[in-house]
C-alpha cells in the first residue's frame, strides 16, 4: 500500500515547535502535571510565553501508564482539601477543555478485610464527611449489591468485612486527558517540545537562569519541575536534594470483556485495584517493587501476587487472560504525600512526590503549581505540601488512605 492510499491523518492537536531562545517559564516534564501546570499558567496567570520540555513523547511517562483512579477520600484535612479540589476540577474540565475524556463517576470502593481495616476505614469516612467529601461505609451486603462479581463470602483468606465508598470518584481516560490539556495549551500559545531532554541548569549564583537541553540551551525566568520518577535526577542537576525514592509500579490489562464490573474496587490489604475501562478491558494495578528503580519495569512476582488477590476477590476473573503488563516509575515520599512548592534554588519550583497516586491530583497540582510559579508563593492548597515539612516535622501521613494502591 503506498502513501497515496492512506487515509488523511486526523487533525493534529498541537504544533511541534522548535524551542525558542528564551521563555518566561519552562516546565520540565510533559506528563499530566506538566501539561496542567502550563495550562493554568496560561489561563489563570496570562503566562503564554512558556514551554513544556519533554524528553520523550507527550504523556509517555506515568501519565499514560496509570490505572486512572480518581478519588478524594484521603484522611487529613490538607489532603482532603487538595484532592477534593482536584475532583471538583475533574467535574468541570471536560467542558472547560472542550474534550470528553470519558470521566466516569462510577464510584470507588476501598475494601476492608480486617478489624483494623474496618476501624481505620470508618474513621476515614468520618473525617471525609467533616471535609465535605462524599464518603459512605458499606457493609458486605451493600458491597455485594454494588459489585455483584465480588466474592463477599467468608470462604476466602481475607473476607470482605465492608468497604468505604465514594460515589463521585471514578476513572477517566488518561491519554485523552493529556491530549485535552495539550490541545488547550497549544491554543493558548504554549510550546510543547517533545524529544527535548533537560540535561542541566544554568545558574547565576543561587538563581536559575536557563536550562541545557538535548536541543540546545534555553534561557528562562522560571523553571517548574514536573518530572515525577525523575525528580531526584533533575534536583541533583540543579544542586539540591529531594526526599524522594523512585520505585517501579506495575499495572496490567486483560483482553476485552462484556461489562461485568460496574465500579472501581481497591483493596490495600490483599493488594489489587480493579476497574473495567470503557472499551471493556479489566485494568488492574499492582504494588510497587520494593527496590529503587528507574527501569520502567518490575518483577513478575508482584504481578503474580496481584493476580492471586484479584482471582480470590473476583472468582470470575480466573477465566480472563492478561494481555499486557507494564511499569512506570513513581516518586514516593515517606509520608505518602506530594511535594509542591519552592526549592532552595531561586526561581526553581518543584512538583513531585505524588508517587503511586498523582493522576487524580493532576488538575489541582497544575492549578496550585502554576500559582506558585507565577506568584513565587504557594497557593493555600499546596502550602502544607512544602518541602520544608520534612524539617518542621509537619508531615501529612497518608499511608492509610494511599497505601501503595491509589
Ligand X SMILES: Cc1cc2nc3c(=O)[nH]c(=O)nc-3n(C[C@H](O)[C@H](O)[C@H](O)COP(=O)(O)OP(=O)(O)OC[C@H]3O[C@@H](n4cnc5c(N)ncnc54)[C@H](O)[C@@H]3O)c2cc1C
Residues that bind ligand X (CB under 6 A): 28-34, 53-56, 59-63, 65-69, 197-198, 226-230, 234, 249-251, 285, 328, 330, 354, 356-360, 406
Least spacing, CB of residue 345 vs ligand X, in Å = 15
Least spacing, CB of residue 126 vs ligand X, in Å = 23
Using CB distances below 5 to 8 A depending on partner kind, what does residue 290 bind out of other proteins, ligand X, none?
other proteins
Give 272-276 contacts, CB < 8 A, sequence gap 24+: 272/306, 272/309, 272/310, 272/313, 272/405, 273/67, 273/69, 273/405, 273/406, 274/310, 274/313, 274/314, 275/67, 275/68, 275/69, 275/106, 275/171
Does residue 245 touch other proteins according to CB under 8 A?
A: yes
Least spacing, CB of residue 287 vs other proteins, in Å = 13
Interacting stretch for other proteins, rule CB under 8 A, among 82-90, 128-136, 238-246, 310-318? 238-246
Does residue 271 touch other proteins according to CB under 8 A?
A: no
Interface with other proteins (CB under 8 A), residue from 94, 243, 262, 315: 243
Interacting stretch for other proteins, rule CB under 8 A, among 33-41, 90-98, 121-129, 384-392? 384-392
Using CB distances below 5 to 8 A depending on partner kind, what does residue 61 bind out of ligand X, other proteins, none?
ligand X
Using CB distances below 5 to 8 A depending on partner kind, what does residue 392 bind out of other proteins, ligand X, none?
other proteins
Using CB distances below 5 to 8 A depending on partner kind, what does residue 180 bind out of ligand X, other proteins, none?
none
Query: Judging by DSSP bridges, how do beta strands 245-256 and 322-332 pair with one another?
Result: antiparallel
Does residue 337 touch other proteins according to CB under 8 A?
A: no
CA-to-CA distance for 221 and 244, rounded, in angstroms? 26
Using CB distances below 5 to 8 A depending on partner kind, what does residue 33 bind out of other proteins, ligand X, none?
ligand X
Smallest Cα–Cα separation from 252: which of 228, 277, 270, 229? 277
- Residue with smaller CB distance to ligand X, 65 or 113: 65
Does residue 233 touch other proteins according to CB under 8 A?
A: yes
CA-to-CA distance for 132 and 127, rounded, in angstroms? 9
Left, alpha or beta for 169 (phi > 0: left; psi -120 to 50: alpha)?
beta
Using CB distances below 5 to 8 A depending on partner kind, what does residue 226 bind out of other proteins, ligand X, none?
ligand X
Does residue 394 touch other proteins according to CB under 8 A?
A: no
Using CB distances below 5 to 8 A depending on partner kind, what does residue 391 bind out of other proteins, ligand X, none?
other proteins
Least spacing, CB of residue 294 vs other proteins, in Å = 5
CA-to-CA distance for 236 and 296, rounded, in angstroms? 20
Does residue 300 touch other proteins according to CB under 8 A?
A: yes
Please tell me the count of residues contacting other proteins according to CB under 8 A: 24
Least spacing, CB of residue 171 vs ligand X, in Å = 8
Least spacing, CB of residue 295 vs other proteins, in Å = 5
Query: What number of other Cβ atoms are within 10 A of residue 93's Cβ?
Result: 23
Using CB distances below 5 to 8 A depending on partner kind, what does residue 208 bind out of ligand X, other proteins, none?
none
Least spacing, CB of residue 330 vs ligand X, in Å = 5
Query: What number of other Cβ atoms are within 10 A of residue 132's Cβ?
Result: 11
Using CB distances below 5 to 8 A depending on partner kind, what does residue 301 bind out of other proteins, ligand X, none?
other proteins
Using CB distances below 5 to 8 A depending on partner kind, what does residue 359 bind out of ligand X, other proteins, none?
ligand X
Does residue 294 touch other proteins according to CB under 8 A?
A: yes
The residues with which 201 forms a beta bridge, in sequence order, are: 211
Does residue 199 touch other proteins according to CB under 8 A?
A: no
Interface with other proteins (CB under 8 A), residue from 153, 214, 292, 375: 292
Residues in touch with other proteins (CB under 8 A): 230, 232-233, 241-246, 290-295, 299-301, 305, 334, 390-393
Amino acid at each position: 500500500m503506498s502513501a497515496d492510499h492512506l487515509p488523511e491523518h486526523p487533525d493534529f492537536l498541537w504544533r511541534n515547535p522548535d524551542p525558542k531562545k528564551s521563555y518566561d517559564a519552562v516546565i520540565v516534564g510533559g506528563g499530566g502535571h506538566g501539561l496542567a501546570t502550563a495550562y493554568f499558567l496560561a489561563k489563570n496567570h496570562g503566562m503564554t510565553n512558556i514551554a513544556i520540555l519533554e524528553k520523550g513523547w507527550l504523556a509517555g511517562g506515568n501519565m499514560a501508564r496509570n490505572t486512572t483512579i480518581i478519588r478524594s477520600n484521603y484522611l487529613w484535612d490538607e489532603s482532603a482539601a487538595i484532592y477534593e479540589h482536584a475532583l471538583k476540577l475533574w467535574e468541570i474540565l471536560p467542558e472547560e477543555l472542550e474534550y470528553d475524556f470519558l470521566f466516569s463517576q462510577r464510584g470507588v470502593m476501598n475494601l476492608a478485610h480486617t478489624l483494623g481495616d474496618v476501624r481505620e476505614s470508618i474513621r476515614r469516612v468520618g473525617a471525609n464527611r467533616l471535609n465535605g467529601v462524599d464518603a459512605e461505609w458499606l457493609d458486605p451486603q451493600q458491597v455485594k449489591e454494588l459489585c455483584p462479581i465480588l466474592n463477599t463470602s467468608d470462604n476466602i483468606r481475607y473476607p470482605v468485612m465492608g468497604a468505604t465508598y465514594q460515589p463521585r470518584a471514578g476513572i477517566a481516560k488518561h491519554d485523552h486527558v493529556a491530549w485535552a490539556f495539550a490541545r488547550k495549551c497549544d491554543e493558548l500559545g504554549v510550546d510543547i517540545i517533545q524529544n527535548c531532554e533537560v540535561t542541566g541548569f544554568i545558574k547565576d549564583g543561587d538563581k536559575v537562569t536557563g536550562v541545557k537541553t538535548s536541543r540546545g540551551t534555553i534561557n528562562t525566568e522560571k523553571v517548574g519541575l514536573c518530572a515525577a520518577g525523575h525528580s531526584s535526577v533533575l534536583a541533583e542537576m540543579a544542586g539540591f536534594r529531594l526526599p524522594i525514592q523512585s520505585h517501579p509500579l506495575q499495572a496490567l490489562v486483560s483482553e476485552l470483556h462484556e461489562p461485568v464490573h460496574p465500579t472501581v474496587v481497591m483493596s490495600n490489604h490483599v493488594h489489587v485495584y480493579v476497574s473495567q475501562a470503557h472499551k471493556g478491558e479489566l485494568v488492574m494495578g499492582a504494588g510497587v517493587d520494593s527496590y529503587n528503580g528507574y527501569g520502567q519495569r518490575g518483577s513478575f512476582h508482584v504481578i503474580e501476587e496481584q493476580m492471586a488477590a484479584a482471582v480470590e476477590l473476583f472468582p470470575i476473573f480466573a477465566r480472563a487472560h492478561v494481555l499486557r503488563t507494564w511499569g512506570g516509575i513513581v516518586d514516593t515520599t515517606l509520608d505518602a504525600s506530594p511535594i509542591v512548592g519552592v526549592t532552595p534554588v531561586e526561581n526553581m519550583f518543584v512538583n513531585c512526590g505524588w508517587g503511586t497516586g498523582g493522576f487524580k491530583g493532576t488538575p489541582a497540582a497544575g492549578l496550585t503549581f502554576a500559582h506558585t510559579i507565577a506568584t513565587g508563593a504557594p497557593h493555600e492548597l499546596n502550602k502544607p505540601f512544602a518541602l520544608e515539612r520534612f524539617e518542621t516535622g509537619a508531615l501529612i501521613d497518608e499511608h492509610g488512605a494511599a497505601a501503595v494502591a491509589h
